[in-house]
Amino acid sequence: MATIEECRTALEKLSDNMASAEGDVRTAAALDRSLSCRITDLDITFVGRLRDGRIEVLDTLQGPPAEKAQIRLTMSGDDLVAMVNGELNFAKAWGSGRVKLEAGLRDLFRLRTLL
């Protein structure tokens, strides 16, 4: 099972990957939205912002967040680490229910480029 620190490192790597992306991926990630990433097996939630193609983690909460973020991810820590390391395909994990992505319809259309 992935640790909190391994999950935080995976989010930092994902942020770096998005910031260095080009073209449609860079455009899709250039949102300014509140973001939460719930790690179910650790019962924690990273909360922060997606801004200018980077993920900024502002806090780590025990359990689910009190307020809904505009973009919400839910998955196990192992799935987060595997996804960021290229060992788990996001679209397949999302389609099978291993990863949950919730956002407004407009944001979902824009984020589909990242998938």
Compare 75 and 27 and report the one with higher pLDDT.
75
pLDDT at position 96 over 70: yes
How far is Cα 66 from Cα 91, in angstroms, rounded to an integer?
28
Q: Which tens digits make up the pLDDT trace of 29-79?
A: 778 999 999 999 999 999 999 998 889 999 999 999 989 999 999 999 999
Burial class (CB in 10 A: 0-12, 13-18, 19+), 20: exposed
8 Å CB contact between 112 and 71: no
Whether the model clears a pTM of 0.75, i.e. scores above it, the answer is yes
Percentage helix, strand, coil, to 5, in the chain? 40, 30, 30
